[in-house]
Amino acid sequence: MKIRNLLVVRACAIGDFVFNLPALTALERTHADARFTLVGNASALELAREFVAVKKIYSIESPPWSRLFYEPVSGLEFDSSIVWMKDETIAGNLRLSGIPNVIRRDPFPPHGHAADHLLRTLNLDRPPLPDLWAPDSDDVVIHPGSGSPKKNWPYFEELVDRLPNVVVFVPLPLGEAARSREARARKGEASKKDEGFRSSSNLWSSPGTSALRLPRRPMLQNLCLPEVFHHLRRCRAYIGNDSGITHLAAYLGCPTIALFGPTYPRVWGPIGRRARIIWKSKLEDITVDEVVQSLDATHT
């Protein structure tokens, strides 16, 4: 079947969307004339522009796309649509909207790696991994955050002391849930669910510890994803937790050291030409020496 005007619906965070990029790349290879319109988390979907031909990107929370949660939408001029969602509602309403070929697949893998599962949903082979790494500095980019405090390795401060003069911090804008926790913390209303949360304005402070003296290191703040992408392409290496930025760094080809604890890397680990994963069931069991040795090994 010839695909020219393809609507892809995938509402997810940055890391999960990175796992979709091999499938989109494989689709583009098998349908060279196809142009993608992407609907979902618009900020995360912007990453696709670096890897495939994207016509337009829309937020699934904005009309008319948000209406697909409860009714068909007229005037959608697509010949095909792929919906990676567990629920059938949006796919059903796209069919009722007149799109002749609508495929819905569950994005969550029953087995194997998530990226391979997404390829299997369309019977596609994994394409070669991209290599967009073009280093022009000695910076080691460190992103000490993630979507959950349980995924945050506790020894970044000590690691920084071991890597003088080459570290750039990349705290990203907070998500809505994190902003809410930060607001409660500032008002003294933090709940037990907020324990372990550290705001992006002071990633290193917590009860009983002193804040890292950030002026000792270059610090990049409030970067949009294209700016993050640029720094990851140009740096010497990247170190981070199980986070969307770690997945992005690995996928574009940057030498990446990913620190994993509670999540299973055989399913959710980063994919990339120069990705290394250090995994222990307890994150605190990963030592600074192990991370430094892994970093040294990226240059041998």
**pLDDT for position 214:** 42
pLDDT higher than threshold 50 for residue 12: yes
Lowest mean pLDDT among 111-115, 134-138, 181-185, 270-274: 181-185
pLDDT > 90 in the chain, percent: 68
**pLDDT for position 104:** 98
Residues 84-97 have a mean pLDDT of: 97
Edge to edge, the sheet with strand 237-241 lists 167-169, 140-143, 237-241, 256-260, 275-279
Task: For residue 125, give both structure tokens.
Answer: 């082979």
pLDDT higher than threshold 50 for residue 208: no
**pLDDT for position 148:** 87
Identify which has the larger pLDDT, 211 or 90: 90
**pLDDT for position 157:** 86
Which domains are present in the chain?
Answer: 5-120 (3.40.50.2000), 140-297 (3.40.50.2000)
Residues 211-221 have a mean pLDDT of: 55
Task: For residue 48, give both structure tokens.
Answer: 């696709």
Question: Any residues with CB less than 8 A from the CB of 249 and at least 6 apart, and which?
Answer: 141, 232, 238, 240, 256, 270, 272
pLDDT higher than threshold 50 for residue 40: yes
**pLDDT for position 209:** 26
Q: What pTM, to 2 d.p., does this model score?
A: 0.84
pLDDT higher than threshold 50 for residue 55: yes
